[in-house]
């Protein structure tokens, strides 16, 4: 099933950010969002993930199919690495956390409390969570922040395997993940036109 965005407009804090945006994301495909800071990539990802409604246009193929990895890792600091993964595996009805531990080199850390991990280790755990959701559409916001080169390579491999197994990914990233088959969508041309009335309100 494809994810289809048609003539989508998205807003943040009531202010339109992007408009007129359309794309199709099919099985095995990756779409990388580009654009300067503040251009609306996160807002678009939040909308696709269902955390906020679109201002206009339509989205299909997203319901109950999205695994979203946001800036905040959202880990339970008083649970161990393995307990965190088990928790999410139960929420999503998956059972085996071993492949996720192995893929992100978390085996040696599995009994450590998540709260005691370094920033990069926390990020690896946050991303490992994707693998226990069994969801086909990965929506990733700057997934490589805090990761060293070796971890970026691990992560790129995980994404590649996800695509090869029929999954897809929508990724906002400033770095090149080396996904040669990924398409690029620069959001800059879709910036919403400034609205005088809304801007006036902002100065009140």
Ligand X SMILES: Nc1ncnc2c1ncn2[C@@H]1O[C@H](COP(=O)(O)OP(=O)(O)OP(=O)(O)O)[C@@H](O)[C@H]1O
38 belongs to the binding site for ligand X (CB under 6 A): yes
61 belongs to the binding site for ligand X (CB under 6 A): no
173 belongs to the binding site for ligand X (CB under 6 A): no
Query: Shortest Cβ distance from residue 35 to ligand X (Å)?
Result: 5
37 belongs to the binding site for ligand X (CB under 6 A): yes
34 belongs to the binding site for ligand X (CB under 6 A): no
Phi and psi, residue 16, nearest 5°: -60, 135
Tell me the two tokens of residue 161: 């395997």
Out of 6, 12, 120, 145, which residue is the one contacting ligand X (CB under 6 A)?
Answer: 12
Touching ligand X, residues 130-149 (CB under 6 A): none
Among 36-44, 57-65, 88-96, 107-115, which window interacts with ligand X (CB under 6 A)?
36-44
The residue among 37 and 180 lying less far from ligand X, judged by its C-beta, is: 37
Helices 119-131 & 81-92 angle (0-180, nearest 10) = 30
The residue among 103 and 141 lying less far from ligand X, judged by its C-beta, is: 141
Query: Shortest Cβ distance from residue 27 to ligand X (Å)?
Result: 26
**8 A C-beta contact, residue 67 and residue 138:** yes
CA separation for the pair 146, 135 (Å, rounded): 24
Query: Shortest Cβ distance from residue 127 to ligand X (Å)?
Result: 17
Query: Shortest Cβ distance from residue 10 to ligand X (Å)?
Result: 8
Number of neighbouring beta carbons within 10 Å of residue 7? 12
Among 10-18, 58-66, 86-94, 159-167, which window interacts with ligand X (CB under 6 A)?
10-18
Touching ligand X, residues 39-58 (CB under 6 A): 39-43
The residue among 142 and 162 lying less far from ligand X, judged by its C-beta, is: 142
- The footprint of ligand X (CB under 6 A) covers 12-13, 17, 35, 37-43
């Amino acid at each position: 099933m494809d994810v289809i965005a048609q003539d989508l407009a998205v807003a943040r804090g009531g202010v339109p950010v992007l408009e007129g945006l359309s794309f199709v994301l099919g099985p095995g495909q990756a779409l990388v969002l580009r654009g300067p800071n503040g251009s609306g990539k996160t807002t678009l990802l939040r909308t696709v993930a269902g955390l906020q409604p679109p201002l206009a246009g339509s989205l299909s193929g997203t319901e109950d199919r999205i695994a979203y990895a946001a800036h905040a890792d959202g880990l339970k600091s008083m649970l161990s690495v393995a307990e965190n993964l088990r928790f999410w595996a139960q929420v999503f009805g998956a059972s085996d956390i071993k492949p996720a531990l192995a893929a992100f080199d978390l085996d040696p850390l599995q009994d450590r409390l998540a709260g005691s991990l370094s920033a990069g280790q926390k990020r690896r755990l946050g991303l490992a969570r994707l693998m226990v959701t069994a969801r086909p559409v990965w929506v990733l916001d700057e997934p490589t922040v805090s990761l060293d080169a070796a971890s970026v390579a691990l992560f790129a491999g995980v994404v590649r395997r996800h695509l090869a197994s029929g999954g897809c990914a929508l990724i906002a990233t400033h770095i090149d993940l080396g996904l040669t088959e990924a398409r690029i969508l620069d959001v800059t041309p879709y910036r919403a036109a400034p609205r005088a009335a809304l801007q006036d309100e902002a100065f009140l």
